[in-house]
Amino acid sequence: GAGVSQSPRYKVAKRGQDVALRCDPISGHVSLFWYQQALGQGPEFLTYFQNEAQLDKSGLPSDRFFAERPEGSVSTLKIQRTQQEDSAVYLCASSSGDSSSPLHFGNGTRLTVT
Amino acid sequence: QQPVQSPQAVILREGEDAVINCSSSKALYSVHWYRQKHGEAPVFLMILLKGGEQMRHEKISASFNEKKQQSSLYLTASQLSYSGTYFCGTYDYGGATNKLIFGTGTLLAVQP
């Protein structure tokens, strides 16, 4: 079937605007992860869902970041009042289960805050 | 705690071999390896499990030393297509969550 789909592919926001990034995981995958990747760096963990439950949000940089997965499928990462330091690629990944299952990544959303 | 990879970068000629190391300060139960090409998403290579066998992906193999809390990725007879940044990933078993933490990354450039 189809892989992980993210939209939009690119997003330019003016400082202070709110943005919403969408992730459509592989059908049936219970685990969903959001990562932030700055230029030249590795992916940094943001948050993790198991079905609709957000089990870990320890990586969210501030209370301006909010993620949801209300029906256990599609997830949205929302960033309120964007700042320049929020500029990065936001990667979504899904997996079928536990730590022995590989993560399948989407192509990411490149966010640029001007 | 983020796993540390070495070297940070390596340049090879086609056909040469390379080793990438991944070290953790925490006990390891599994190690993932991913490759990311410029402008693309990370792509899964293999998973090594505690007590499991050495794994292979084409001419790339990996080992897992639980006692030393280390994993190594071996690239044999490198090809141009091997170029990219390699990340190891280890699970942080904290509380109710199993989150994959990526290492510092190793940039590999294979030249003709």
* Tokens 């969408």, residue located: A22
Nearest to A103 among B44, B49, B85 (CB): B44
Q: Give the containing element (helix H, strand E) for B36.
A: strand B30-36
CA torsion through residues B94, A55, B102, B88, sign = positive
B5, burial (CB in 10 Å: exposed 0-12, middle 13-18, buried 19+): buried
pLDDT in tens, B36-89: 999 899 999 999 887 666 777 778 999 888 888 899 999 999 999 999 999 999
Nearest one of B35, B28, B70, B69 to B49, comparing CA atoms: B28
Let me know: does A29 contact A86? Beta carbons within 8 Å.
Answer: no
Residue in B with minimal Cα distance to A110? B39
CA–CA distance, A98 with A93 (Å, rounded to integer): 13
pLDDT in tens, A53-105: 999 999 999 999 999 999 999 999 999 999 999 999 999 999 998 777 899 99
Nearest to A20, CA basis, from A62, A59, A68: A68
- Total Cβ atoms within 10 A of residue A1: 5
Chain B: closest CA distance from residue A107 (Å): 5
Nearest Cβ partner for A107 among B41, B85, B95: B41
- Joined tokens for residue A92: 């979504």
| Over residues B81-110, mean pLDDT | 85
Q: Are B56 and B71 in contact (CB under 8 A)?
A: no
Given this model, what pLDDT does residue A51 score? Answer: 95
- β pairing state of A44-50 and A53-56: antiparallel
Rounded to the nearest angstrom, the minimum Cα separation between B108 and chain A is 13
List of chain A residues whose C-beta atoms are within 8 Å of the C-beta of residue B101: 45
